[in-house]
Chain A
């Protein structure tokens, strides 16, 4: 069996492959445990680099104020130029077209300002210990460092339980032994 190279697996993990190569890789992954584990590794590494996905800290209000100020400046400059212009004869159609463009630009800019004034909500969590389920099991993470993760051993149906004290359990039937197994990890 010919395995995809690591760059292909990395691109697949990031969802960056084209449709055909994605289909080919997914087909291979369905039958190849080592490559699936490789993909899982890439996905975890991707999670380890949260700064890639983080938005820069932008002062939206200040940016909006600057844009508004620029709009006002542009309008005032336009008025100055218009006052100095020699009166010329203009057709009604040309005048309407210019007005429409100017009006549309203003609407776009004002709309942009309104959007910037109301950024989408963002939750910032305190850096601390986090216990959560992943596609493969449960794990404890402190900051960017993973401490311990108990995997579900390829089980199909897993029941997760949360304890407000800070532990998480995963219950599943061990596919090899048929026994019930309960994995628990603790945040403290």
Chain B
């Protein structure tokens, strides 16, 4: 998969703190990386390292404490029209009171489109995820994997240039997960979009992406950025049997494991000091 090489997204020295004074929590300490046009970038890190916070900052839903998010060189301060966000909890981001069609059409209502054009976009997006027969169903009448496909269709119909995905396949079973991974790779080609994909699954990050950004344990920093030179189209069996895949997977795994050990040691160290301090 070739990218145009043009820089689409830049995250510059981003930091996010919650609270203030003595109660301040450093969720993200210092994160910088870039995403090129049509690139697929995965962000992996140990659980609880502020991946969701990072994605919400990128998407303009949260304001970073320090640093910037630049989309085509312009600072993101509110959710930009060029971005669409897919959450992990499909059950809570799809509206149970609306049909699949009305869920997908929601973000299009305030765009200046004719009814015909709007319906065409909705139908095209649902067709791309293979849900055309379910257009008049309610989301809760569908399986988890299908619901997540509705959420993806909604994002596609919005015609974003970049798709932000927050652990989108974390709550479906392994088989469905593989199908959804291939779906998102296919859709990425078909719609020529850029994807920033957050996951805690190392295999998934290597399988999907052009580059993997590995984060440290919180307060979060970038531990490493790894190029993934696996050939496209990717295949659940063939790609995962490649020695390069095993090598990359092992490399990322090693980085995260070392990260966990280090932060574990740090934690152990603080605990010993704390107990020592408590002694009379």
* Chains A and B are bound partners: no
Q: Which residues of A contact B (CB under 8 A)?
A: none
